[in-house]
Amino acid sequence: MQRSGSGWFETLLNSHMNLSSNGEIFGAQNRRSNGSVIYKTLDRVYNLDWMSSASKNECSAAVGFKWMLNQGLMEHHEVIAEYFKRRGVSIIFLFRRNPVRRMISLLANKYDKEVKLLNGTHKSHVHTPHEAQVLATYKPALNVTTLISNLRSTEQKVAKALECFKSTRHIVLYYEDILTNRTKLVDVQEFLKLPRRNLTSLQIKIHSGPLRTQIDNFDDVEKTLKGTPYEKYISTDYK
């Protein structure tokens, strides 16, 4: 899902000399309009005919791309799952444990697209502490009327994705776990059958610290979630 740390995670993967992840190739509607078109796009990737700035086809032990759940993946999941099994494709699912933080990132990114806080330039990802600090000055207000239904919807989308591709070889990762436990990156390399390397990224985390300091109407959010299954996202938020 968007704003789940996938950009950062992909830069970590691409720092491995034997891995080539080609970005968000299904962002373009014409590459995912139907099953046949999706097949052709996938064939280009796995036949090593896809060229991008990330392509390292000449030395790649693992080749892939980033695919958001809302980019035709779930709409055409049956034909995609069949293709994955036929060609031996493996899936890395990357989710966030705390979807409230993902909401903050979504709203903040949308706001910056409009106002362009960094000298009139919009940046979805940053590479210096100063840039992160500037973008983090914006504190969105969450819509408490739709908050619970949005959290429930996110849970359902995750569950459906895991169900649809349960028979495909896969691993499930969480953004927060990678942040706090870098042995998760060792697990990924073992999953992809890669030689172990130290994976690095130049990207800087934008939103950190307690949620109370990042949400404009935190008291309303806390009140709305209190006594619900989603209260944990406020009360046990990771450090």
Reported as a single tens digit per residue, the pLDDT across 174-196 is 999 999 988 999 999 999 999 99
Phi-psi region of 32 (alpha: psi -120 to 50; beta: other; left: phi over 0): alpha
Specify the pTM. Answer: 0.91
Distance CA 35, CA 84 (A): 13
Residues in the chain: 239
Q: How confident is the model at residue 57 (pLDDT cuts 50, 70, 90)?
A: low
Q: Which of the following CATH numbers is that of domain 6-235: 3.40.50, 1.10.150, 1.10.357, 2.60.120?
A: 3.40.50
Distance of CA 123 to the CA centre of its chain: 16
Report how far apart, in Å, the C-alpha atoms of 58 and of each of 18, 55, 89, 107, 191 are. Answer: 9, 9, 19, 39, 21
Reported as a single tens digit per residue, the pLDDT across 97-128 is 999 999 999 999 999 999 999 989 999 999 99
Distance CA 196, CA 74 (A): 32
Reported as a single tens digit per residue, the pLDDT across 121-173 is 999 999 999 999 999 999 999 999 999 999 999 999 999 999 999 999 999 99
Q: How many CA atoms lie within 13 A of 181 on its CB side?
A: 11
CB atoms within 10 A of CB 203: 18
Report how far apart, in Å, the C-alpha atoms of 184 and of each of 44, 104, 179, 196, 227 are. Answer: 30, 25, 9, 12, 32
Q: Would you say residue 54 has pLDDT above 70? A: no
- The DSSP letter of residue 174 is E
Q: How confident is the model at residue 52 (pLDDT cuts 50, 70, 90)?
A: confident
Distance CA 188, CA 174 (A): 12
